[in-house]
């Protein structure tokens, strides 16, 4: 199945990543259905997307007519079973839970056409394990997008043990259609980007917790010292501290290495609901548009 035939795409999960994936697809001129069982989350997601596009208009990034065209290509639907019946591709972007993702794929397998490709946006979970919940493991593959999806030019394409060459080629070509640079990854916990970034973030949190340096100075040191565009603590805030902790816990459970054990400070902040940009408070404070205060 060539990339130009993948014209019926459904994204399941209207959170930050699902919203970003839907926007990225729509920006390339392709229609996409954004689906979430929670209609309130779905409605909020569309409002957030509209606000984000308005900010891009203010910065001369896009025009008002381009915004209108992007939104027109995104159809919202809270009936996931109905909207996938004729889908050529389903991209799941639900929260990072092995059980929930497997259950979703199991249900999709029962209602989607046999040729439908299942894509997971998981950051740490096994594609082979998710695929085993279906009767089409050769058509299950990972596309690990990074946040913000429409800005980060990278996507990891993750092959499961039984992912077919035809499925891989379709998704590789699709990544190019989205103007992304694909990196091919053989399945392993954390893939490439998550596995490398998690210890970096975790160590920065330990440095802060131990009182060695302030949050501001940690980020300044890493930005100026090593040329990073963003410091590790601000990056963790942007990713969402609950998401970051989930990645760490999955990697720690899978590999048993201490470097993936979440910093106690991170655990405390997540318990307190200080999740970063999306709640206005993480290692730094943010306004309602996500700008540092």
For the chain, the structural domain boundaries read 3-186, 195-279
Task: Name the pTM for this structure.
Answer: 0.87
pLDDT band at 38 (very low <50, low <70, confident <90, very high): confident
Tens of pLDDT, residues 133-148 = 999 999 999 999 998 8
Q: What is the mean pLDDT of residues 11-38?
A: 94
Tens of pLDDT, residues 74-132 = 999 998 888 899 999 999 999 889 999 999 999 999 999 999 999 999 988 999 999 99
Tens of pLDDT, residues 204-246 = 999 999 999 999 999 999 999 999 999 999 999 999 999 999 9
Fold (topology level) of 195-279: 1.10.1040
Residue the block writes with tokens 């990073």: 228
Query: What are the residues whose beta carbons fall under 8 Å from the beta carbon of 290, sequence distance 6 or more?
Result: 277
Return the number of other C-beta atoms located less than 10 Å from residue 93's C-beta.
25
The CATH number given to 3-186 is 3.40.50.720
């Amino acid at each position: 199945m060539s990339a130009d035939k993948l014209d019926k795409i459904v994204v399941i999960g209207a959170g930050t990543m699902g919203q970003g994936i839907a926007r990225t697809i729509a920006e390339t001129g392709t229609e996409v259905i954004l689906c979430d069982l929670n209609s309130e989350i779905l409605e909020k997601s569309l409002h957030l997307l509209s606000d984000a596009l308005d900010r891009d208009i203010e910065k001369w990034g896009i025009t008002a007519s381009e915004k209108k065209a992007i939104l027109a290509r995104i159809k919202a639907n809270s009936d996931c079973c109905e909207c996938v019946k004729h889908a050529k591709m389903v991209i799941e972007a639900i929260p990072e839970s092995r059980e929930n993702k497997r259950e979703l794929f199991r249900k999709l397998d029962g209602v989607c056409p046999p040729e439908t490709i299942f894509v997971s946006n998981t950051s740490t979970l096994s594609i082979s394990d998710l695929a085993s919940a279906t009767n089409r493991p050769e058509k299950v593959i990972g596309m690990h997008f990074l946040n913000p999806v429409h800005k980060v030019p990278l996507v990891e394409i993750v092959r499961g043990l039984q992912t077919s060459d035809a499925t891989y080629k379709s998704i590789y070509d699709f990544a190019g259609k989205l103007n992304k640079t694909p990196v091919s990854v053989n399945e392993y916990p954390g893939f490439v980007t998550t596995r490398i970034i998690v210890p970096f973030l975790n160590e920065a949190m330990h440095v802060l917790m131990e009182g060695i340096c302030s949050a501001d100075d940690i980020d300044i040191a890493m930005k100026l010292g090593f040329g990073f565009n963003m410091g590790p603590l601000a990056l963790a805030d942007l990713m969402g501290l609950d998401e970051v902790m989930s990645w760490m816990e999955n990697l720690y459970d899978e590999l048993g290495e201490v470097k993936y054990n979440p910093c106690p400070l991170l655990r405390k902040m997540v318990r307190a609901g200080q999740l970063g940009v999306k709640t206005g408070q993480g290692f730094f404070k943010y306004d309602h548009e996500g700008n540092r205060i």
